[in-house]
Each structure stands twice: as C-alpha cells, then as structure tokens.
C-alpha cells in the first residue's frame, strides 16, 4: 500500500508527489494521458519546443514559487507582449498607451485618461455602476471603443457565451495602464523554462514513480494502486460519476502548421479579436525561446486555437466559473469533504481558474499541511 497515490501528473500532481517523496513517503503517480506534465506539456518539433496545450508563460510575484521553479529549470527573460488583430488593424496588449495611441491618436497619459474617462462617464450615464458581469466590468474599465474592438468578440468566442452572462473577474485579470509598457503581466518575475516545460516537470518528478496511460477512475478498486491517501487532480464531478449533474468546461482544438518560413508573425502571440474569425489566437512557438539554437533556421511552427464547448472525449481546459457552475461545484465540494482519504487539487479538482504559479502555490501549501 502506498502512502500517497497522486492522480494526474500536471503541475499540481507533480509538485505534491515530489514533496511527499522528499518527506520520505512512498508515492505513485497515475496519469491517463500518454505523457506527463498535463497542460504545460511541450514537445519538440523542428527543434522548437511546441506548447502542446496552448501558450504557457510563467509569471509570478510569489517568491517561494519562483524559487521552486528555478530549482528545477533555468528560466529565460521572455516577456509576453501579445498583439491584438482586429481586421487590418493591430493593437498592443494589454491595454496601455500604445493601444490608446493606435485607437485615438492620443499621445500623453493625460489625453488618454480624458478620453477613457469620457467614455466611462457615458457608460455610467446609461445606468451601469457596479459591474454585474464581464461586459459591464469591461465598459467601466475602458469604455465602448476598447470593449467593441478588443474584448467583446474575443471573449464571446473564447467562452461561447454572451459577455453579459460571464463573471466580471475574468477581465480583471488583464492590466490597464497609462504607460507605454506592452508587458502583459504585472508580476515581478516572468519567463519560459529553457528546453520547455516537459523538461522542468521531468526534473520535478525525477525520483517519483509515474505510470502514464492509466485512468485512475477505471482502476480505482485495483489493489495495485491501494494507498493510505489519494490526491486527485482530475475533474471533481467525474470523480463522483457526475451524480449531481455536469460541471461545464471550455475546451480548445489546436491546429498546428509547420511553415517554410523562419518567422511567420514576428511575435509569440497574436490575438484575433473579431468574433467572425473562428480561432482566438495564433501562437508562433519559436518566439518563446529566441535563444534556442536547436530551432530550425528555415521553418516555423504555429498553432491556431479554436475554442469549443467541452464534452466527454475532449480535454477540459477552462472551468466556467459562472454562478450556476460555482453553485454546483459547491455541492460537489460537500461530497468531497466526506471523502476522508481523498484530497482534491488543481484547476480541475478545485474547479478554479488557476495560473501555473497559483497551482504550484496550492500544491506547496497542501504539502505544508499534510506532510
């Protein structure tokens, strides 16, 4: 019997498994995909580390988490500065002086503030004061022009729902600033692990036994995997056979192309903010690691991300944290609390929009608590 069985080899599972091993416990990790690392998995194509499940940029202000990842990988100085394309127009993201200049020709922060304050006043005059949903939040942050060109179309195709039916917190993730700074994140630290995320997760798991291609839920009564304690990082509703109903998730379809050009778009991430274009963004992977000298000199790998509703058989990437789903999750949590020897963790187990650093932080805190 193992001291700890960990279900899932994403960041949450990898970190808790490695910490348990360090604390002298016997540990086994089960992973149903045919590879480790969950959604941060990268694989090499044309010498380029391709982010298999969408662009992953590590950013954090959490000292402990930053130290932790740096003990398992060397990070480069990549700074995410995505572009937004709307028709033939290009804008810098996040919303900053470059964006405001391209939208309205304003040059100084003062001019930009006046323009935005004018638009926000209009929004308030229409009766919106406390944001009840994503649309109202976006309008109160930046007014109509930004909302219509850069937020509405992207958000509604990403989530497959009207912006008026989505929670406001989703858009509060994005900085809004009055300097000419295109850095997408406000965090103190940022970068990409040299050689890709898979190598970093391999390093985290180097002393731990892992079995890939095994679905825990199909084998949960198997004596081979008996354990005193289980940390489960899969879908919480699936664990309970969806007995209270299905939680909703958003999925994605990734379409790769290997192009006979060394540089397709000159940037790692370009968002397509029009609703009519079926993908949300194009990722050009070579730009995440410009220092990678294994990368093909003549070819480039790009990936288009097409958002989809999740259904069984697809990967669940984003929890849909609206009121209805959060209430259902609360009921599953009550069931989870009755499971004395199972702890639910990670983006799927806790049904939360965790970034990588939040995920690692949660796993380290769990280690503090149980080990």
Q: From the list 25, 46, 54, 199, which residue makes contact with ligand FAD (rule: CB under 6 A)?
A: 54
Q: Look up 113 and say whether it is catalytic.
A: no
For the CB of residue 245, give the shortest distance to ligand UDP in the complex, in Å.
Answer: 24
Asked if residue 370 binds ligand FAD (CB under 6 A), the reply is no
Bridge-partner residues for 231, per DSSP? 6, 343
Considering only 82, 191, 307, 346, the residue that binds ligand FAD (CB under 6 A) is 346
Annotated catalytic residue, options 33, 68, 248, 281 = 281
177 among known catalytic residues: yes
**Rounded to an integer, what distance in angstroms lies between the CA atom of residue 46 and that of residue 48?**
5
List 11, 48, 170, 336, residue binding ligand FAD (CB under 6 A)? 11
The Cα 17–Cα 331 span in angstroms is 27
The yes or no reply on residue 55 touching ligand FAD (CB under 6 A) is yes
Does residue 274 have an active-site annotation?
Answer: no
Stretch that binds ligand FAD, among 31-39, 151-159, 170-178, 266-274 (CB under 6 A): 31-39
Determine, following the binding rule CB under 6 A, whether residue 82 of this chain makes contact with ligand FAD.
Answer: no
Q: How far is the CB of 146 from ligand UDP (least distance, A)?
A: 9
Q: How far, in whole angstroms, is CA 212 from its chain's centroid?
A: 22
CB-wise, 65 or 270, nearer to ligand UDP? 270
Q: Does 56 bind ligand FAD (CB under 6 A)?
A: yes
**DSSP element (H, E) containing 360:** helix 356-370
CB of 5 to ligand FAD, least distance (A): 10
- Residue 4 or 123 with smaller CB distance to ligand UDP: 123
Would you count residue 319 as binding ligand FAD (CB under 6 A)? no
Report in angstroms how near the CB of residue 295 gets to ligand UDP at its nearest.
Answer: 24
State whether residue 157 is helix, strand or coil: helix
DSSP state of 151: I
Point out which residues pair with 28 in neighbouring strands: 5, 209
CA-CA distance, 162 to 185, in Å (whole number)? 26
> Should residue 269 be labelled a site residue for ligand FAD when binding is judged by CB under 6 A?
no
Contact flag: residue 153 with ligand FAD (CB under 6 A): no
The one catalytic residue among 3, 238, 315, 355: 355
Contact 316, 347 (CB under 8 A): no
Nearer to ligand UDP, 180 or 275 (CB): 275
Measured between alpha carbons, how far is 253 from 152 in angstroms, rounded to an integer?
Answer: 21
Look up 250 and say whether it is catalytic: yes
Residue numbers 84-143 binding ligand FAD by CB under 6 A: none
**Binding of ligand FAD by 12 (CB under 6 A):** yes
Residue closer to ligand FAD by CB (options 6, 168) is 6
Which one from 74, 113, 173, 294 is the annotated catalytic residue? 173
Nearer to ligand UDP, 158 or 190 (CB): 158
- Beta pairing, strands 42-45 & 342-344: unpaired
Give the whole-angstrom CA distance, residue 103 versus residue 144: 12
HEC string of 161-204?
CCHHHCCCHHHHCCCECCCCCCCCCCCCEEECECCCHHHHHHHH
Q: Burial code of 30-66, b = ≥16 C-beta within 10 A, e = fewer?
A: bbbbeebbbbbbbebbbebbbbbbebbbbbbebeebb
Count of other CB atoms within 10 angstroms of residue 271: 19
CA–CA separation, 230 and 227 (whole Å)? 7
For residue 197, indicate whether it is catalytic.
no
Please give the residue ranges that form the binding site for ligand UDP (CB under 6 A).
84, 93, 150-151, 154-155, 158, 170-171, 173-174, 271, 273
DSSP per residue, 232-258: E-S-HHHHTTTTT-PPPEEEEEEEEEE
Q: In the structure encoding, which two tokens stand for residue 264, read together?
A: 């397709």
Q: Does 38 bind ligand FAD (CB under 6 A)?
A: yes
For residues 109 and 54, what is the distance between their CA atoms, to the nearest angstrom? 34
Tell the smallest beta-carbon distance from residue 47 to ligand FAD (Å): 22
Judged by beta carbon, residue 21 or residue 347, the one nearer ligand FAD is 347
List residues near ligand FAD by CB under 6 A.
Answer: 7-13, 30-33, 38-40, 53-58, 215-217, 233-234, 252, 317, 346-348, 354-357, 359
Residues marked as catalytic: 173, 177, 250, 281, 305, 353, 355
């Amino acid at each position: 019997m193992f001291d700890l069985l960990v279900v899932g080899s994403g960041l949450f599972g990898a970190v808790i498994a490695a910490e348990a091993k360090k604390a002298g416990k016997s540990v086994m990790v089960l992973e149903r995909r045919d590879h480790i690392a969950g959604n941060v998995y990268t694989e090499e194509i044309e010498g380029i580390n391709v982010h298999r499940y969408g662009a992953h940029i590590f950013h954090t202000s959490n000292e402990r988490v930053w130290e932790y990842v740096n003990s398992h990988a060397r990070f480069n100085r990549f700074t995410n500065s995505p572009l937004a394309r709307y028709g033939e127009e290009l804008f810098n993201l996040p919303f900053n002086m470059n964006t405001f200049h391209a939208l309205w020709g304003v040059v100084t922060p003062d001019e930009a503030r006046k323009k935005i304050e004018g638009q926000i006043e209009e929004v308030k005059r229409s009766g919106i004061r406390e944001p009840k949903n994503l649309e109202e939040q976006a309008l109160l942050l930046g007014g109509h022009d930004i909302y219509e060109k850069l937020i509405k179309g992207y958000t509604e195709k990403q989530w497959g729902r009207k912006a008026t039916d989505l929670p406001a917190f989703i858009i509060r993730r994005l900085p809004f600033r009055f300097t000419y700074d295109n850095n997408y994140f406000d965090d103190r630290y940022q970068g990409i692990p040299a050689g890709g995320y898979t190598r970093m997760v391999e390093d985290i798991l180097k002393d731990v036994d892992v079995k890939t291609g095994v679905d825990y839920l199909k084998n949960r009564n198997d004596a081979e995997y008996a354990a005193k304690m289980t940390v489960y990082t899969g879908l919480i509703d699936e664990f309970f056979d969806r007995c209270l109903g299905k939680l909703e998730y958003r999925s994605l379809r990734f379409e790769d192309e290997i192009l006979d050009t060394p540089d397709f778009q000159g940037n790692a991430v370009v968002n397509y903010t029009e609703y009519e274009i079926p993908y949300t963004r194009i990722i050009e992977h070579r730009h995440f690691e410009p220092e990678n000298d294994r990368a093909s000199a003549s070819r480039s790998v790009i990936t288009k991300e097409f958002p989809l509703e999740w259904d069984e058989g697809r990967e669940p990437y984003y929890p849909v944290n609206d009121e209805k789903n959060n209430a259902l999750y609360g009921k599953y949590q009550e069931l989870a609390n009755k499971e004395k020897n199972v702890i639910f963790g990670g983006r799927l187990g806790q049904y939360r929009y965790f970034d990588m650093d939040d995920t690692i932080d949660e796993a380290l805190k769990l280690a503090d608590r149980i080990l």
